[in-house]
Amino acid sequence: MAEAGTMESSSIGGMETTAVGTVETSPVIEVAIRLLDLIGASLLLILFAPLLLAVALVVRLDSKGPAIFRQRRFGRGMEQFSVAKFRTMHEGCPADAHRAHVEKMLDTGGQESQPMVKLEKDPRVTRVGSFLRRTSIDELPQLWNVVRGEMSLVGPRPPLQYEVDKYPAEAFRRFAVRPGLTGLWQVRGRSTLTFRQMIELDTEYVERRSLPLNLKILLLTPLAVVHGEGAA
């Protein structure tokens, strides 16, 4: 049996925290999921190449700045990497408003009661950016992160530093596997769910992770996107 994830300590918010647990998985499952990631992401990059080029051009024409936005996120084993997205905000906008919004949702009371909605009426978001976020097209460049092995097609979403700073101990279980483009949270309600419900679904995925489960989630993802489930 192979172990997905390692046990290590990390200083989060000034406290030493056990960051990642271990999950025993068959080497066959690990290889099968990695092959699915490589083949699937590569084919999607080829299939969506015209769309990716068109979106990049529209983003550049709509507002000043590069088409691709890169941001440091936490991945498997709490290793940091640069996640790629189409830029949906005006260049150079500070993250203060988003950080305050996230910290409010992740406060002790908010974790249980507040849905994981995005910041409403965010003036930083461009006209094109609003559409890209609503349709999740802004996430497509992360297919390259999947090819590079930093992400998987399926898994928990990679968080920001100030999100991790607010994590309760049980939330660190999600770092036992690679972060994904989609996951149980996305196909079961997305931003209609609370932070606690998201962590429960991420933990459930970590425990049940398999090739059939990944395929099922991938098949359900387009339906969730089309119906706009939890995309607010």
- Domain of residue 55 covers 2-226
H helix runs in the chain, sequence order = 27-47, 49-62, 96-106, 108-113, 127-135, 142-147, 161-164, 184-187, 195-208, 211-226
Is 231 inside any structural domain?
Answer: no
Is 158 inside any structural domain?
Answer: yes
In total, the chain counts a number of residues equal to 232
The tens digit of pLDDT for each residue in 92-133 reads 888 888 888 888 877 766 567 677 777 777 889 999 999 999
d(CA 190, CA 210): 21
CB 174 within 8 A of CB 203: yes
- Per the structure, the count of domains in the chain is 1
The tens digit of pLDDT for each residue in 8-46 reads 444 444 434 444 656 667 889 999 999 999 999 999 999
pLDDT score for 6? 43
The residues, any chain, with a CB within 8 Å of residue 14's CB and separated by 6 or more, are none
Average pLDDT score, the chain: 85
pTM of the model: 0.85
